Structure 1
Amino acid sequence: MNKALVFPLFLLSLLLATPGFSQRYGTALGLRFGNSDLNRTLGLTLQQRVTERVTLEGILQSDFSKNTTFSLLAERHRPIISKRFNYYLGGGVAFGNEESFVKNPDTKEIVHTYGNATFGVDLVAGIELTVANAVIAVDYKPNVNISGREEFYRGQVGISARTVLVKSKEQKRRQKQRQKAKRASQKQPKKPFSELFQKK
């Protein structure tokens, strides 16, 4: 058998045979390692499921030198094999302090600046696997600059490892409890306004 097929087949067999893989997440927090032509970054990633197939993700990352950014992304998930192994697409806004490179065609010099306050749009495409209490993801996150730096486009590949803080079932249970409490409070009869002035 081709050695390149061994790991994917092993992974597939685990996904199909192990009931523990069926666990999904409501809230997950972890680390994200980013790599681009410009730098390598380390950051925090927090994902919060807001509907059955949509999550919000916040990413705070830095190269601990000249680039620190924060991204807020909305992501739509679709299952590949099952709900625990899926791909996602999304986008959002990005803020940061970044370095910039300006080329001068006359002198053929590159002017390097840093500490630039930047604003832009992030897109993201990735795949993720939920294994017990862990979520492993690989993504590509291009950034389109709107203001703050010279380069219009930068791309980054990221690998994330998150731990599940709130399971999907627990999140749904809490939502049902809140809805039930809200309905119960709406059913309670309201006292007439005139009763406020009556002596007890």
Structure 2
Amino acid sequence: MIQSYKVLSALILFFALAASPLLAQRYGTAAGVRLGNSQLSRTVGLSVQQRIVERVTVEGILQSDFSRNTTLSVLAKKHSPIISKRFNYYYGGGIAFGREESFIKNDETMQVDHTFGNATVGVDLIGGIELTVANAVLSLDYKPNINLAGRSEFYRGQIGISARTVLVKSKEQKKKQKQRQKAKKAAQNQPRKPFSELFKK
């Protein structure tokens, strides 16, 4: 798994240096698969990312090891270009909910109690790099989790790689936003009928 991360990192760097702007595009909405790896478990998940304003996205991640750990994270991320807008680094954070295993040390018996199905709430932080090429968005990130309730460990970290497909291009999203703004302004500028005309037949 770790070897896969090294290969993906090399590929991202290669594409960033070799890809021309004609082969890449920015995105409005992208969805795909995320693979996560930590000292505790390896997870497979779904990632949906939506650009809400310039250089800011919201991402939802649902991931599971299909055994003892399943989590849902909602993250806001700020993007900054490295070489171009299509190759950038990002950072951010959000909230996470889950059903997770936990380890509690019993001071009297000096044993570690292993519990399952704990309902957890925490704060996720995230930082990584991202490359948009053709119709694909590739990213490599580190996502630490700070536990607020539900498990004994205060901190857990996870490395993740994601591959998403562009569902809505940035240009299409901006075009629709402009159309909505134009329609709203037209409705506001439309002359209103006098109140007295409501009683005319």
TM-score for both structures, normalised by structure 2? 0.92
Aligned to 1:123: 125
1:118 deviates by 0.5
State how far apart, in whole Å, the 1-side matches of 2:12 and 2:139 are: 15
1:122 deviates by 0.2
Q: Which amino acid aligns with 1:52?
A: E
State how far apart, in whole Å, the 2-side matches of 1:43 and 1:57 are: 12
Q: Secondary structure at the match of 1:142?
A: strand
State how far apart, in whole Å, the 2-side matches of 1:9 and 1:128 are: 10
State how far apart, in whole Å, the 2-side matches of 1:179 and 1:90 are: 29
1:4-39 CA-to-partner distances (Å, cap 9, x unmatched) read 9x9687434423x45212x11000000000000000
Aligned to 2:189: 187
1:105 deviates by 2.2
- The answer on 1:161 being equivalent to 2:163 is yes
Unaligned runs of 5+ in 2: 1-6
Q: Which amino acid aligns with 2:74?
A: L
Aligned to 1:19: 22
1:106 deviates by 2.2
State how far apart, in whole Å, the 2-side matches of 1:110 and 1:52 are: 48
Residues 12, 138 of structure 2: 8 Å contact kept: no
1:113-135 CA-to-partner distances (Å, cap 9, x unmatched) read 11111101000000010001000
Summarize the alignment of residues 55-94 of structure 1 with structure 2, pairs less than 5 Å apart: 55-94=57-96
Rate the CA distance shift 1:64–1:12 in 2: closer, same or farther, 3 A. Answer: closer
Identity %: 69
TM-score for both structures, normalised by structure 1? 0.92
1:124-163 CA-to-partner distances (Å, cap 9, x unmatched) read 0000100010000000000000000100000000000000
How many matched pairs?
193
Q: Secondary structure at the match of 1:117?
A: strand
